[in-house]
């Protein structure tokens, strides 16, 4: 298990990470989210022992990261770094052997990984001749092919189209099923909701939310309503008691309530005893919660 306990890091007058604690168990996926400059990459670098925390500890299976070999860690940095003149085969051979694989083991495993991520091109193609998406997939394979026990992915979905994002998600799920502990960052809340067992949100280096997504959403209550083809006008909806905001797109409406208990009154008012094609009451989405917390100066 990865465990961070009260870690802090300052750069000059800037407090980059402030008393952060988290755990990631084998077979668990933790999403680390926050706005730019929130402390996510600094946290990753302390886990990797690239930076030493000023306070707190970082341990793996109870052992300090500073005292153990890091060959069990697969890391995809936010700033991608490949050797452009190497072929796909040479690139992955280098990283595989760097993490203790034999040349033969890399050769045997590589075809399956290239297929898993649908890498376009031949193994003899140079990295510089690949598209950016395929370069990213090659670097991801280099980080995973040796089956690390701990996987750290810094903005892995950046620049990927929906098809390749789905391939990446499947690859992460494969690592999870193999027992890897996985921590990743992303600005796309859809990816975070889809992948994370738990999440930690940072703001200005501090934890402002932690837990499972349903538990976090439950803190905000079911204050959102989605309507389709209501039996009353948009103007009438805005005047309903408890409706504090409304967004309309065609014949669909998204409402924000001041109290979840208002839902029954709203239902009765917008249906007028008639059938309507859509009514659902739910908690704010993770994207909405993220925006609220990032914009909350008291968080």
Q: In CATH, what number is assigned to the domain containing residue 92?
A: 3.40.50.300
Q: Based on the domain organization, do 144 and 29 belong to the same domain?
A: yes
Q: Which phi and psi angles does 35 have, rounded to 5°?
A: -70, 170
Q: Which phi and psi angles does 289 have, rounded to 5°?
A: -65, -40
Q: Based on the domain organization, do 148 and 91 belong to the same domain?
A: yes
Query: Of 194, 217, 240, at which residue does a domain stop?
Result: 217
Distance CA 128, CA 135 (A): 8
CB 296 within 8 A of CB 204: no
Distance CA 179, CA 29 (A): 10
Q: Based on the domain organization, do 148 and 229 belong to the same domain?
A: no
- Tell me whether residue 69 is in a domain: yes
- Tell me whether residue 298 is in a domain: no
183 forms beta bridges with 30, 152
Q: Based on the domain organization, do 73 and 161 belong to the same domain?
A: yes
Phi-psi region of 229 (alpha: psi -120 to 50; beta: other; left: phi over 0): left
Q: Helices 132-144 and 103-116 sit at what angle, rounded to 10 degrees?
A: 130
Query: Of 217, 232, 261, at which residue does a domain stop?
Result: 217
CB atoms within 10 A of CB 246: 16
CB atoms within 10 A of CB 120: 12
CB 229 within 8 A of CB 277: yes
Distance CA 31, CA 198 (A): 6
CB 262 within 8 A of CB 237: no
CB 149 within 8 A of CB 113: no
Distance CA 123, CA 140 (A): 15
CB 2 within 8 A of CB 46: no
- Tell me whether residue 167 is in a domain: yes
Number of domains forming the structure of the chain: 2
Determine the pLDDT at residue 298: 46
Q: Based on the domain organization, do 76 and 120 belong to the same domain?
A: yes
Phi-psi region of 119 (alpha: psi -120 to 50; beta: other; left: phi over 0): beta
Question: CA-based diameter of the chain, in Å?
Answer: 71
Q: Based on the domain organization, do 127 and 204 belong to the same domain?
A: yes
Q: Which phi and psi angles does 102 have, rounded to 5°?
A: -80, 160
| Digitized pLDDT (tens) for each residue of the chain, 299 residues in all | 999 999 999 999 999 999 999 999 999 999 999 998 899 999 999 999 999 999 999 999 999 998 888 889 999 998 877 888 999 999 999 999 999 999 999 999 999 999 999 998 889 999 899 888 889 899 999 999 999 999 999 999 887 888 999 999 999 999 999 999 999 999 888 889 989 999 999 999 999 999 999 999 999 999 999 999 999 999 999 999 999 999 999 999 999 999 999 999 999 999 999 999 999 999 999 999 998 888 765 44
Determine the pLDDT at residue 296: 62
Q: Based on the domain organization, do 122 and 48 belong to the same domain?
A: yes
The domain that holds 274 is classified in CATH as 3.30.70
How far is C-alpha 94 from the chain's CA centre?
Answer: 28
What is the domain range of residue 277? Answer: 221-282
- Both tokens of 227, joined, read 């309507």
- Both tokens of 94, joined, read 């280098």
Minimal CA–CA distance to 148: which of 170, 114, 167, 174?
Answer: 174
Which one-letter DSSP state was computed for residue 87? B
Q: Based on the domain organization, do 211 and 122 belong to the same domain?
A: yes
Q: Based on the domain organization, do 16 and 85 belong to the same domain?
A: yes
- Tell me whether residue 198 is in a domain: yes
Q: Based on the domain organization, do 134 and 203 belong to the same domain?
A: yes
Determine the pLDDT at residue 171: 94
> N- to C-terminal Cα distance for the chain?
29
- Tell me whether residue 123 is in a domain: yes
- Tell me whether residue 71 is in a domain: yes
């Amino acid at each position: 298990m990865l465990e961070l306990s009260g870690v802090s890091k300052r750069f000059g007058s800037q407090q980059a990470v402030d008393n952060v604690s988290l755990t990631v168990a084998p077979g668990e996926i933790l999403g680390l989210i926050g706005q730019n400059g929130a402390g996510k990459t600094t946290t990753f670098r302390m886990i990797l022992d690239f930076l030493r925390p000023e306070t707190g500890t970082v341990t793996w299976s109870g052992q300090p990261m500073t005292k153990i070999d890091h060959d069990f860690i697969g890391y995809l940095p936010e700033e991608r770094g490949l050797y452009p003149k190497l072929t796909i085969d040479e690139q992955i051979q280098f990283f595989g052997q760097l993490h203790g694989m034999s040349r033969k083991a890399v050769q045997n495993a590589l075809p399956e990984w290239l297929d898993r991520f649908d890498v376009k091109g031949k193994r003899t193609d140079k990295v510089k001749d690949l598209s950016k998406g395929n370069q990213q997939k090659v670097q991801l394979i280099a980080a995973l092919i040796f089956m690390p026990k701990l996987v750290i992915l810094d903005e892995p979905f950046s620049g990927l189209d929906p098809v390749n994002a789905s391939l990446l998600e499947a690859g992460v799920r494969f690592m999870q099923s193999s027992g890897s502990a996985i921590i990743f960052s992303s600005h796309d809340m859809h990816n975070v909701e889809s992948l994370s067992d738990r999440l930690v949100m940072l703001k200005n280096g501090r934890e402002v939310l932690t837990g499972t997504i349903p538990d976090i959403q439950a803190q905000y209550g079911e204050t959102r309503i989605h309507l389709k083809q209501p039996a009353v006008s948009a103007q009438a909806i805005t005047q309903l008691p408890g409706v504090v905001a409304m967004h309309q797109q065609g014949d669909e409406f998204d409402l924000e309530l001041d109290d979840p208990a208002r839902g029954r009154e709203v239902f009765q008012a917008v249906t007028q005893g008639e059938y309507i094609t859509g009514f659902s009451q739910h908690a704010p989405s993770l994207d909405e919660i993220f925006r609220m917390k990032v914009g909350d100066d008291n968080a």
